[in-house]
Every structure is written in C-alpha cells, then in structure tokens.
Amino acid sequence: MKTKKTITDNRIDPDVLKYTVGDDPVLDRELAVWDCMGTAAHVTMLSEMKLKRPVVTKKEAAAVRKELGRIAALAEKGRFEIRVEDQDVHMAVERMLTEKLGDLGKKIHTGRSRNDQVAVDVRLHMKDAILRTEAELVELASQLGTFGTEAGMIPLVGRTHLQPAMPSSVEMWATGHAEMILDQLENLEAAYRLADLNPLGSAAGYGVPLPLDRQRTTKLLGFSRTIHNCFGASMARGECEAALLSALAQLMAVLSRLAEDMILYSMPEIGYFKLPREYCTGSSIMPQKFNPDVLELVRSKAAQVLGLQTAALSLLHAMPGGYNRDLQDCKWLYMKGLDITRTTLRILAKVVAGMSVDEARCRAAFTPGVFATDVALRKVAEGTPWRDAYHDVRDHLERLSGEDPDRAVAAKTHEGATGGLDTRIYLRRARESLKGVGERLAALNKAKAALLK
Ligand code: ARG
C-alpha cells in the first residue's frame, strides 16, 4: 500500500489522509494570517520563559516573527499554499518556517498543540469577521433608514394577518425593519464576547510541564481574558462557533422577513414598491417577467444558516470531553454561515438602496376599513366607552368612508407611532456601533502588526 509522508505521521493511507484532511487546505487559507499571529505570540512568550536553557532566545523569536510576517503578507495577497501532506495551515506554516530557519522552525511548536493553535486562530478570525459583519449590518440598517426618511410620511396600509389593518407609513415600515436589524447587534456582540477569550497555552487540553505565561499571550493577542482551565479551553472549541451561528441564524431570519415584505410589496397586484429592473431576473419562456429571485434566495439562505447552526450543535452535543476531530468540521460550518450572511447583508443593502416607492399605489390601497379603529377612538373621545364604540363601528361597517390618510398618520404622535417616530435614533445607533467596530478592528490590526513585524 502506498503511504504519504507528513510532519506528524510518515505512514498514512492516502485515502484516509484525504478524508481526514477534508477541505482544510482550502478553508485554512482564511486562517493563515491569524495562525501567523498566534504563533508569533506563542514564540514571543516562549522566549520570555525563565529557563536554564531557553527554548528559543529573544533574538531567535524576533527572527521567527519576521519570517511569520513574510508568510502573513503572502497569505494576505492570496499566495499562501497548503499541501495535502501539510494537512492544515498549522503544519504548512511550520514547514515554511523550517524550510527558511532550519532547526529554529522545528522549535516553534514547543508546548503547544494544534488543538489550542487552531482554537486561537478561529477566535482571532472570528473576532475580525464579527466586526466586519456588524459594519455590513449597520450599512443595511442605514440604507433602510435613508429609504424610510426619504419616503417620510407617505401613507402605507399597515397590515396584520396580511389584511389591511391601520394607517401606517413607509417610514415606519422601513425604520421598523432597520431597528430589528440593529437589535441583532446584541446577539453578534454576545458571540463576540465569547470569541474574545484566549485558549492558547492549553496545549492538547491538559497543559504542559513548562512555565507557559498564558496571560502574556492573552495580552499580546488582544484578548479580553484567558480561558483559565486547560481542559475547559479545549472544550470551548466549537462552542463559540455555535454561538456565532446562532446569532447568524437569527439575523438571517430577520433579513428573510424583510425580503418577504419586499417581495409582497413589489408584486404587481400590490405595487407599493418597485425593485430596480437590473436587480430582477427574467424568465426563459415568459418575456414579461421581472422576478425577485434575489429576495427569494434570501429566504432560502436563512434556512441554510439555520441548518448550519443545527449541524454545529448536533456535532457538539454528544461529543466526549477533550479534542475530537469532529471539531474540524465546525470550521466549515461557521465559515459558510458567515459567508452567506455577509453576502446577504451586502446584497440587501444594494436592493434596498435601489428600491423606489409608488406613492399613488400606496395611497390607493387605503380602503375605508383601515380607518375603523380611528373612528371608534373618536367616539371614545366624545365619551363613549371603548367596547360600545367598537361595537358601534363593527355593526355598521358600511357607514365607514374614506378618510385622509395623511391626517391619520400624523395623528398618532406618541413614541414610535407614525407621527412620533424619531429617525435620528437610528442614525445615532448606527454611528455609535460603527465607532465601536472601527476601534476594535484597529486594536486587532495593531496587535497583529506589532507581532508580525
Ligand atoms: N485541522 C485540525 C482541526 O481543525 C487541527 C487540529 C488537529 N488536531 C488533532 N489532534 N488531530 O481540528
């Protein structure tokens, strides 16, 4: 039987190797920069350990960091290659360091396992990705805010059960969705806080007989704190991926509902909104068609991300303590979930920005029934108890007549109603969120640049 030589094992069946390596040679390219950063912190810490015979000297650590900087630069240009024999990014980086630095390259993995190494890579990658996702989320919310404020109080029939219900406005519709989307930042922030913990130094999950300074790598890498228990640190792999997928699944469900409203309101029979032609797709047989495929796919992708979250939790729930290779598959799940969600945020921002309002169609939809509650409330103002006023109107629906929708919309002035909407709230929230995102991305970049120079 033909076998292949790898750094960890020089007799492995090629089919088994292929199966166990899976998509890592492709997926791990996304981790390369973060792997270099984590290794730079580890080697720096190793060089500072007080030992009779240092594992690596400070000078050697500086040489390793410089080489890691070169490898990270290659990775940033998309020119980092992982071979099947490497198995993953970790071994590829060690191979490259050894090719360049000889024995020094063979020392960098002292006191470390790929288990804590990949866990730290994923967390650094995830922190960066969550912040970028948040910026994209805020951009979509801002586009909805602009769409809403530009349309202002153009009256829109508010619906419940899809049936005409009460006077609303385009502004209320758009900023209501914007607020729901902005609220999803809470879930992403919770996932961020979980990702912001350092597992490095837990090694294979049980520590090592070396005086590792785990606080030091936490500081160098810019994590909020260290995961104290080494076994716990290894168990935490997969948990933050699942937490992020749960935030993403919920966000996608929110986006899917927005997409669904846009599909309905741009149907020819309803026609409140118009989607730009260039964002609609045609039919191969029906020449008249302009279909909202892009929005339909938002719905299907929401289902997919929910599936990815389910897959992550299913993968984890029965896994025994300590590292198991199952965890490798978590990587694909969360990377896929991130990719789908981020693409969806970007495409929706574009479609919302291009969407227009057909004011005449919005106004034409106001049937007398839409004013029924307002009529009953006017009776209350004249002294009739609510339930009597309600029955009065309910028993004589034929007496209802068309009213001025602008007046009805303006008359609801309490907080958050059509006439009491403060759209500056959304601008302020968007501005503050972006500031927080920018500051944290800058801090992460600064830590990375300091380690890889
Ligand atoms: N590619 C592996 C993963 O993502 C790296 C860790 C391998 N560790 C091991 N004990 N086989 O999980």
Is the pLDDT at 2 greater than 60, yes or no?
no
Q: How far is the CA of 325 from the centre of ligand 1 (A)?
A: 6
Q: How many helices (H) and strands (E) would you count in the chain?
A: 19, 6
Average pLDDT, the chain: 96
Confidence of residue 367 (pLDDT cuts 50, 70, 90): very high
pLDDT, residue 11, reads 82
Q: Does domain 115-154+164-210+226-364+429-451 have CATH number 1.20.200.10?
A: yes
β-pairing, 225-226 with 197-198? parallel
Q: Residue 161 catalytic?
A: yes
Contact 231, 321 (CB under 8 A): yes
Among the listed residues 283, 300, 314, 356, the single catalytic one is 283
- In the three-class reduction of DSSP (H, G, I as helix; E, B as strand; rest coil), residue 324 is classed as coil
pLDDT in tens, 286-299: 888 889 999 999 99
Q: In this prediction, what percent of the chain has a pLDDT beyond 70?
A: 98
Confidence of residue 8 (pLDDT cuts 50, 70, 90): low
pLDDT in tens, 299-337: 999 999 999 999 999 999 999 999 999 999 999 999 999
Query: Sign (positive/negative) of CA torsion 53, 55, 58, 60?
Result: positive
Is the pLDDT at 150 greater than 60, yes or no?
yes
How many other C-beta atoms can be found within 10 angstroms of the C-beta atom of residue 321? 10
Q: How far is the CA of 114 from the centre of ligand 1 (A)?
A: 6
Residues 6+ positions from 135 with CB-CB distance below 8 Å: 434, 437
79-95 mean pLDDT: 92
Alpha helix stretches (DSSP H) within 283-358: 293-317, 326-354
pLDDT, residue 208, reads 98
> pTM here?
0.95
In this structure, the residue with its CA closest to atom 5 of ligand 1 is 114
Q: Does domain 14-110 have CATH number 1.10.275.10?
A: yes
The single residue listed with the structure tokens 């519709």 is 173
Q: Is the CB of 88 under 6 A from ligand 1?
A: yes
Contact 202, 115 (CB under 8 A): yes
Q: Which helix (H) or strand (E) holds 166?
A: strand 163-169
Q: Following DSSP, what letter does each residue of 181-240 receive, concatenated?
A: HHHTHHHHHHHHHHHTEE-TT-TTTT--SS---HHHHHHHHT-SEE---HHHHHHTTTHH
Q: Residue 283 catalytic?
A: yes
Q: How far is the CA of 107 from the centre of ligand 1 (A)?
A: 19
What residue segments make up the domains of the chain, in order of their start? 14-110, 115-154+164-210+226-364+429-451, 368-411
Whole-number Å distance between alpha carbons of 93 and 33: 10
Beta-bridge partners for 197: 225
End-to-end CA distance of the chain: 45
In single-letter form, the type of residue at position 441 comes to L
pLDDT, residue 3, reads 58
- In the three-class reduction of DSSP (H, G, I as helix; E, B as strand; rest coil), residue 414 is classed as coil
Whole-number Å distance between alpha carbons of 333 and 307: 9
